[in-house]
Amino acid sequence: MKMENSRVSIPELTSPYLKVEEAALYLRVSQRSLEHFRSEGGGPPYRKHGGSIVYHIEDLDRWSAGRRFESTSNRSEE
């Protein structure tokens, strides 16, 4: 899968582990949002590999799937 943004071009993914910048682009949220989620909770699970924070792509997909709504009146979180 190749991900592109007008400011950032990310090469084809060779690992299921995404850096913070890559995960933010994948989810279409800011890196600051991911930082907020890590400190306050409610975001996708993350891992620490050495001193680096990474996100497994399946965790991102699972988290996103849990945030699917059909109308604003049926939202139970956020």
CA distance 33 to 14: 25
Indicate yes or no: pTM above 0.85: no
**Burial of 18: CB neighbours in 10 Å, binned 0-12, 13-18, 19+:** buried
| Span 54-77, average pLDDT | 88
Tally Cβ neighbours within 10 Å of residue 25: 19
List the chain domain ranges. Answer: 3-66
Could you tell me which residue, 75 or 16, shows the higher pLDDT?
A: 16
pLDDT per residue as tens digits for the range 8-65: 665 566 889 999 999 999 999 999 999 999 999 999 999 999 999 999 999 999 999 9
From the candidate CATH numbers 3.40.50.720, 1.10.1660.10, 1.10.1750.10, 1.50.10.10, the one assigned to the domain spanning 3-66: 1.10.1660.10
Could you tell me which residue, 23 or 4, shows the higher pLDDT?
A: 23
- Cβ 53 vs Cβ 47: under 8 Å: yes
Could you tell me which residue, 49 or 76, shows the higher pLDDT?
A: 49
